[in-house]
Structure 1
Amino acid sequence: MIKTIIFDFGNVFINLDIEGHIQNALKAFKIESFPEEMIAFNDFYEQGLISTNEFLEFYTENFPKLSNDEIIDIWNFMLKDFPENRLDFLKQLKSDSKYKLILLSNTNELHIDWIKKHVPFYEAFKNCFDVFYLSHEIHLRKPNRDIYEFVLNENKLNANECLFIDDNTDNTNTAKELGINAWNIIPKTDDITNLFTVKKDLF
């Protein structure tokens, strides 16, 4: 029996254009692929292990023709719209009070700043959750096992009583390894508002 639902943020509530973001970044940086150092630096930033200033310094040093604002625009390119019917669904879940609701997202400071500025109901969204975990605030990130263990331990949860919803297969696979039920949502065909139809066997 599911008692806790753990949600990802991107492509579950807010739409992302990940492929468009990759192509836009490669074109803007005039590179054919992302070097390992850049990928590692992005991961550090997502975990809050480096500051936004350090993150921007890294990029301006490597791409001196680009300004801070241009780098921020490239970085935030993936963030798109947040359909309000998903908020309505979440509000209904909250009001029903049947489940503990947790957000668990790989989200960095620049992205959350953009969301606060462009999603007018961000605070209402955040207030629907019993616990709200962003990777840069807890210094852990998916799909590493320790972030799931942290959530289970912090909230005294039984893995088999949790459902984790994420659009990334690596993230849902790690959850499953720990005994957590998981829904690997496919953004092009699935929508979080259909949760109780798609996963009716769990409820």
Structure 2
Amino acid sequence: MIKTIIFDFGDVFINLDKEGAMKNALELFEINELSEELIAINALYEQGLMETTEFLDFYLNNFPKLSKKELIDAWNYIICDFPSKRLEFIQQLAKDKNYKLILLSNTNELHIDCIKKHIPFYEDFKACFDKFYLSHQIMLRKPNTDIFNFVLNENKLKPEECLFIDDTKENTVTANKLGINVWNNDPKTEDILDLFTIKKELF
């Protein structure tokens, strides 16, 4: 029986444009692909191991033609809309109190600041959860095993009583290896609103 539902944020609640953001960045930086160094820097920032000023300085030093605003706009290009029906969905779940609700998201300060600015009900959304974990705040990052063990241990959860929902396959693979039930949702064809229909065998 599922007692705890652990949700990802991006492409579960808030829509993302991952492909568009990558295309935009490559064109802006005038490169064909992200180097291993850039990928590593992005991961460090997402894990809270690098301050925003340090992160921006790195990019400004490597791409001196660009302004800070251009870099921030490019970084936040990925963030799209947050359908109000999804807010209503999680608010109803919180009101029903049938499950412990946890958010577990790989994100960073710039993205969260952008979301707070453009999504007026962000605080209402956050208030729906019993725990709200952002990677840059807890300094742990999916798909690493330690982030899932952290959530399980801190909340005294049994893996088999948890459902973890994430659009990224490698994240659900790690969680499933720990005995956690998973739904690797496809944001192009599936919606969190249909959770209890798509995963009805778990409830």
- Quote the residue 2:148 is aligned against: 148
Structure 1 residue 38 and structure 2 residue 38: aligned? yes
> What per-residue deviation string (whole Å, max 9, x for no partner) do you get for residues 64-92 of structure 1?
01011100000000000000000000000
- Structure 2, unaligned stretches of length 5 or more? none
Letter of the 2:42 partner, please give it: N
5+ long unaligned stretches in structure 1: none
Please state whether the residue corresponding to 1:101 is helix, strand or coil. strand
Partner of residue 138, structure 1: 138
Asked if 1:3 corresponds to 2:17, the answer is no
Instruction: Give the Cα separation in 2 of the matches to 1:74 and 1:122.
Output: 22
CA deviation digits over 1:84-109, x for unaligned, max 9? 00000000000000000000000100
Deviation at 1:195, TM superposition (A): 0.3
Whether 2:180 is the aligned partner of 1:180: answer: yes
Q: Give matches, 1:10-159, under 5 Å.
A: 10-159=10-159
Cα distance in structure 2, aligned partners of 1:4 and 1:89: 16
RMSD of the alignment, in Å?
0.3
Structure 2 CA distance for aligned equivalents of residues 77 and 68 of structure 1 = 14
- C-alpha separation between the residues in 2 aligned to 1:46 and 1:182? 23
Equivalent residue letter for 1:176 = N
Q: How far is 1:158 from its partner?
A: 0.1
Aligned residues: 203
Aligned-residue sequence identity (percent) comes to: 67
| Separation in 2, partners of 1:117, 1:21 | 19
Match of 1:194 in 2: 194
After superposition, the C-alpha distances for 1:101-129 in whole angstroms (9 at most, x for unaligned) are 00000010000000000000000000000
Q: CA deviation at 1:6?
A: 0.1
Q: Distance in 2 between matches of 1:87 and 1:59?
A: 34
Looking at structure 2, the residues matched to 69 and 147 of structure 1 have their Cα atoms a distance apart, in angstroms, of 32
1:163 CA drift (Å): 0.1
TM-score of the pair, normalised by structure 1 = 1.00
Give me the whole-angstrom Cα distance separating, in 2, the residues matched to 1:130 and 1:101. 5
Distance across 1 between alignment mates of 2:66 and 2:162 = 44
CA shift, 1:17, in A, is 0.5
